Amino acid sequence: MIDNDYLLAWTVYGIAALGCLLVWFRLTRWMWRGLYEPLRVLMAVLLLAPTIVDPGEGLFAPAIAVTALDLLFGVDSNAWRAVADLALYGMIGMALYLSLIGARWLLLRRRGVLGPAPADAGEEPAVREPVKRGEAGGTQGLRADRRF
């Protein structure tokens, strides 16, 4: 394969993989955050992980394609290497994802979104008291405006 053909094939595959990833993002957007984020990381790893096909020339191919084609045609030359690469990239992707979750948790905790930070544990949070119906201050007019 000529170098230009090799780069053209990777470019076409990269664009198609990013398109599939965008579709996957749309399909998983309705889910709970704790479910769709790991699924998105897993799909990105499956679509974007390369594996080496020819060590002598340094040629790479998508690991999921190498695994599927080796299992489909009964060739067992690169399937295990591709599965090992997928597992390695999957562990790296999940480790990065978990570290980003930890950083996001610490940031939200520090901002006070998730509750008081450990340094502010002794302070009372400022909470507005709800207006009760029978008290003075014009709350009697609210009953007439209710449309339930």
Q: What share of the chain is helix, strand, coil (3-state, %, to 5)?
A: 65, 5, 30
Residue-wise pLDDT tens digits, 12-46: 999 999 999 999 999 999 999 899 999 999 999 99
Which DSSP helix (H) or strand (E) runs through 50? Answer: strand 50-54
Length of the chain as a residue count: 148
**Cβ–Cβ under 8 Å, residues 102 and 114:** no
| Angle, CA of 111, 112 and 115, to the nearest 5° | 150
Residue 97 tokens read as: 């994802």
In this structure, what are the phi and psi dihedrals at residue 54, rounded to the nearest 5 degrees? -125, 100
Compute the distance between CA of residue 24 and CA of residue 8 in angstroms, rounded to an integer: 24
pLDDT band at 67 (very low <50, low <70, confident <90, very high): very high
Could you tell me the two tokens for 2?
Answer: 């000529």
Predicted TM-score (pTM) above 0.85: no
**SS (HEC) of 80-141:** HHHHHHHHHHHHHHHHHHHHHHHHHHHHHHHHCCCCCCHHHCCCCCCCCCCCCCCCCCCCCH
Q: What confidence tens digit (pLDDT) does each residue in 69-79 have?
A: 998 988 877 88
Q: Answer yes or no: are the C-beta atoms of 59 and 52 closer than 8 Å.
A: yes
CA 12/CA 117 separation, integer angstroms: 48
pLDDT of 142 strictly over 60:
no
